[in-house]
Amino acid sequence: MTKRGTPWKMPLILLLVLPWLTLSCAKKVVQKEEVTAPQETPKAEMPAEVQPKPTPPPPSAIEEETLSAAERKRKEEEFRFENQDIHFDFDRYDLKPEAREILADKAFFLKKYPTVKILIEGHCDERGTNEYNLALGERRANSAKQYLINLGISEDRISTISYGEERPLDPGHNEAAWAKNRRAHFVIISR
Amino acid sequence: MRIRVRALILGLALGLLTSMIPGLLPETRCETVIDIFGPSIPRFPVGIFPFRTPSPSVEERTLSQEARRILTKDLTIAGFFEILDTSQALADPFREGFGRRQIDWKVLDYLGADIVVGGTLRVEPPWIRWEVRVYDQPRRRMAFGKVYRGRPQDIRLMVHRFVDELIRVYTGSPGIFQTRIAFLSKRSGNKEIYLTDPDGENVRPLTQDRTIHLSPAWSPDGEELTFISYQGAHTYLYSMDLRSGTRRILSARENLNGPASWAPDGQRLATTLSIHGNPELYLIDRRGTVLQRLTVHPGIDVSPTWSPDGRFLAFVSNRAGGPQIYLLELATGKIRRLTYEGKYNTDPDWSPRGDRIAFSAMIDGNYEICTIKPDGTEFYQLTDSPADDEAPSWSPDGRYLAFSSTRSGSSQIHIMLYNGENPQQITRLPGAQTSPVWSPWLKQVEP
């Protein structure tokens, strides 16, 4: 019974220890990568993710595991941040409701990681003329920037660039391609 | 005579690339001058005979053929000439010589040319000597003649000079073959700036930075070219000294820096900056210092072009919804809308003659080149193809427009007369060629 007791108790121990571990690990991240992660309160689900592990690894290994889990989560969030564009109608730079939702999500990310600095790229489809598209792309990037500022993100964390029609995501010459190319794209330039 | 000899010695002494000796042959100004801005453009039938080569040298023959090829191409592009097939002539009219009494005028009568061009080309190492004469066939006399001497590789420049003179004699103002057209090419995969002669030959890259370049613009003296260049996550406005190839940053402000357009005085540029987060027009000096903010509007203001007298700017704004062309009077700051036809009018370029503004208009789903008078009257659509015709740029004499078109498949540079006649594709390069900008008159043209 005593032999079985340890694995039974382990999740409980983990449940109690993990939040502290996460915090302490996060602090290590702080020193290493200048990220003030402690603002993030570890969620109750986190230990559950570790639970399925058959045998409890030694404490140092647990530490390793939690670090990469937090890091993996952040990577996932960063991936989503950089791969979810907002889209515009032809010759427009006003934000559509979907774009506002995505921007709210991005503002959440930026509040969660307050040291992150970003670049917003404004893009256009190939149909407009180059110089006008350059200005239109600028305006699109700026619409997104202004919305993030309104959501409380500091202006000095956001820079913009317009690529006009120079960097299409989809090289096609049809409405499906054009719709993809009329976008603001988000890039993390410093973590 | 003395002047000629001095010019020759000077040319040799200074090692000038081409020494042109004008007035060697008796010259009479042609009386039949065409008004090329008339309602319809008359075309002179021209016969260009092969230039005689006195020696059996292959080099001489090759150069002679090259001179005739370039001349034929230039006159085809010029648009006021109908090139006749001289192989239809019954005999060589110059077999006896080039004198009035030696020429076989009957042969020329049969050909039906108003203008006949003939001459000789000699290789006199290290020079070549090209003697070319223009005959007024109906009056059976020589209109004018020229002798050019230069290095074999200067043959293109010699022919361009001759054509410019021929056009001056017949139209009252010289041709544009000693100018350049700058354009953007993606032949390398990046968008680099290239230069070409107006006949589409002598194409060479001006930048090889492996980045995006946009909106080239000539200074009025033709010695500088400004452009936008992407450097990392920034766009800067550069100005390049075309003689030395050195470049300097004109504007490196946050966000947009350009496109820019030189004022006719060569001291100021109108440009788009978005200092306050919105593209507005500004006046800057040659060093990039802001002199004046010109527009205050939450919409887009871009693509300024100067009236030749420097009093007005035409530019693109979306203040009424879609992009339209507006005029700004610099003295008063008054702005009025110029274009009302269609929903998408961009890329204005003010003619050096001052009388028309060319622009790209979206018509039936694709772009066409149009012109309009600065008072908003006489809207003309010059192109009508299912392809995109964009980015018109006037030649310095206001007689031609260069533009980009996808009518042959990929985007290439084309030239047409001011009224849309005689469209000619001049580039045939891999990748897309866009945004042609015609140089002003150039003081010194490199071969």
Contact B367 A129 (CB under 8 A): yes
Contacts of A161 in chain B (CB under 8 A): 233-235, 255
- Within 13 A of B399's CA, how many CA atoms are on the CB side? 21
DSSP per residue, B204-233: EES---SS-EEEEEE-TTSSEEEEEEEETT
Per-residue pLDDT tens digits for B21-63: 443 444 444 444 556 666 667 789 999 999 999 988 999 999 9
DSSP per residue, B328-388: EETTT--EEE---SSS-EEEEEE-TTSS-EEEEEEETTEEEEEEE-TTS---EE----SS-
Residues near A93 by Cβ (< 8 Å), separated by ≥ 6? Answer: A136, A139, A140, A142, A143
- On whether the CB atoms of residues B147 and B21 are closer than 8 A, the answer is yes
Contacts of A145 in chain B (CB under 8 A): 277
Q: What angle do CA B432, B433, B438 make, to 5 degrees?
A: 170
Judged by average pLDDT, the poorest of A28-42, B84-98, B234-248 is A28-42
Does B211 score more than 80 pLDDT?
Answer: yes
How far is B246 from chain A, CA to nearest CA, in Å?
Answer: 25
Question: Within a domain: residue B295?
Answer: yes
Collapsed DSSP state (helix, strand, coil) of residue B202: coil
Judged by average pLDDT, the poorest of A27-36, B295-304, B352-361 is A27-36
How far is A15 from chain B, CA to nearest CA, in Å?
Answer: 45
State residue A32's pLDDT score.
42
Taking CA atoms, B210 is separated from A27, B276, B433, B436, in Å, by 42, 30, 16, 19
Q: Strands B301-306 and B213-218: what pairing?
A: unpaired
What H or E segment, with its residue span, contains residue B63?
helix B58-78
Q: Strands B357-363 and B366-372: what pairing?
A: antiparallel
| Range with top average pLDDT, B20-24, B124-128, B410-414 | B410-414
Q: Into how many domains does chain A fold?
A: 2
- B346 strand-pairing partners: B360
Collapsed DSSP state (helix, strand, coil) of residue B72: helix
Of B235, B318, B347, the CB nearest to A131: B347
State residue B195's pLDDT score.
97
The C-alpha atoms of residue A87 and residue B122 are separated, in whole angstroms, by 66
Task: Tell me the ipTM for this assembly.
Answer: 0.87
Among B120, B152, B171, the domain boundary falls at B171
Q: Tell whether A189 lies on the interface with B, counting CB pairs under 8 A.
A: yes
Mean pLDDT, residues B316-330: 96
Question: Within a domain: residue B207?
Answer: yes
- On whether the CB atoms of residues B415 and B423 are closer than 8 A, the answer is yes
Please give the residue range of the domain that contains residue B386: 181-438
- On whether the CB atoms of residues A165 and A140 are closer than 8 A, the answer is no
- On whether the CB atoms of residues A142 and B275 are closer than 8 A, the answer is no
Residue B354 backbone zone (phi > 0: left; psi -120 to 50: alpha; other: beta)? left
State residue A173's pLDDT score.
87
Contact B277 A142 (CB under 8 A): yes
Same domain, A27 and A62: yes
Percent of chain A at pLDDT exceeding 90: 58
Judged by average pLDDT, the poorest of A150-154, A159-163, B24-28, B313-317 is B24-28
Contacts of B274 in chain A (CB under 8 A): 138, 142
Q: Into how many domains does chain B fold?
A: 2
Judged by average pLDDT, the poorest of B35-44, B60-69, B176-185, B339-348 is B35-44
Q: What angle do CA B38, B42, B47 make, to 5 degrees?
A: 150
Contact A131 B279 (CB under 8 A): no
Identify from A120, A121, A132, A166 which residue to disrupt to test chain B contact, counting B C-beta atoms within 10 A and taking the largest count.
A132
Contacts of A132 in chain B (CB under 8 A): 300, 302-303, 316, 323, 346-347
- On whether the CB atoms of residues B28 and B142 are closer than 8 A, the answer is yes
Same domain, A27 and A100: no
Same domain, A110 and A185: yes
Question: Within a domain: residue B286?
Answer: yes
Q: Tell whether B316 lies on the interface with A, counting CB pairs under 8 A.
A: yes
Please give the residue range of the domain that contains residue A119: 84-190
Contacts of A162 in chain B (CB under 8 A): 235, 255-256
- On whether the CB atoms of residues B183 and B427 are closer than 8 A, the answer is yes
Residue A159 backbone zone (phi > 0: left; psi -120 to 50: alpha; other: beta)? beta
The C-alpha atoms of residue A141 and residue A132 are separated, in whole angstroms, by 14
Contacts of A174 in chain B (CB under 8 A): none
Query: What confidence category does residue A78 fall into, taking pLDDT thresholds of 50, 70 and 90?
Result: very high
Among A75, A110, A135, the domain boundary falls at A75
Query: Whole-number mean pLDDT of chain B?
Result: 90
Query: What confidence category does residue A6 fall into, taking pLDDT thresholds of 50, 70 and 90?
Result: very low
State residue A64's pLDDT score.
64
Same domain, A11 and A94: no
Q: Which residue has the higher pLDDT, A13 or B293?
A: B293
Mean pLDDT, residues B224-231: 96
Question: Within a domain: residue B421?
Answer: yes
Same domain, A99 and A173: yes
- Within 13 A of B268's CA, how many CA atoms are on the CB side? 19
Contacts of B256 in chain A (CB under 8 A): 134-135, 138, 162
Among B144, B171, B198, the domain boundary falls at B171
Same domain, B231 and B304: yes
Of A91, A130, A138, the CB nearest to B256: A138
Of B191, B233, B302, the CB nearest to A135: B302
The C-alpha atoms of residue B32 and residue B114 are separated, in whole angstroms, by 10
- Within 13 A of B197's CA, how many CA atoms are on the CB side? 18
Judged by average pLDDT, the poorest of A29-33, A163-167, B106-110 is A29-33
How many interface pairs between A and B have CB atoms less than 8 angstroms apart? 79
The C-alpha atoms of residue B192 and residue B206 are separated, in whole angstroms, by 7
Among A75, A97, A121, the domain boundary falls at A75
Among A75, A99, A128, the domain boundary falls at A75
Same domain, B31 and B60: yes
Alpha helices in B80-172 (DSSP H): 105-111, 155-171
The C-alpha atoms of residue B156 and residue B445 are separated, in whole angstroms, by 11
- Within 13 A of A132's CA, how many CA atoms are on the CB side? 29
Same domain, A88 and A54: no
State residue B41's pLDDT score.
74
Q: Tell whether B435 lies on the interface with A, counting CB pairs under 8 A.
A: yes
Same domain, A40 and A107: no
Query: What confidence category does residue B446 fall into, taking pLDDT thresholds of 50, 70 and 90?
Result: low
Judged by average pLDDT, the poorest of A10-14, B141-145, B354-358, B411-415 is A10-14
Contact B279 A138 (CB under 8 A): yes
Same domain, A183 and A135: yes
State residue A37's pLDDT score.
40
Of A132, A142, A159, the CB nearest to B303: A132
Question: Within a domain: residue B445?
Answer: no
- On whether the CB atoms of residues B440 and B220 are closer than 8 A, the answer is yes
Same domain, A22 and A45: yes
What CATH number does the domain containing B417 carry? Answer: 2.120.10.30
The C-alpha atoms of residue A94 and residue A169 are separated, in whole angstroms, by 20
- A-chain residue closest to B298, CA distance: A139
- The number of beta carbons lying within 10 Å of the beta carbon of residue B109 is 13
State residue B6's pLDDT score.
41
- The number of beta carbons lying within 10 Å of the beta carbon of residue B28 is 12
- The number of beta carbons lying within 10 Å of the beta carbon of residue B374 is 16
Same domain, B215 and B330: yes
What CATH number does the domain containing B78 carry? Answer: 3.40.50.10070
The C-alpha atoms of residue B80 and residue B202 are separated, in whole angstroms, by 23
Of A132, A162, A166, the CB nearest to B346: A132
Does A25 score more than 50 pLDDT?
Answer: no
Per-residue pLDDT tens digits for B364-409: 989 999 999 999 999 999 999 999 999 999 999 999 999 999 999 9
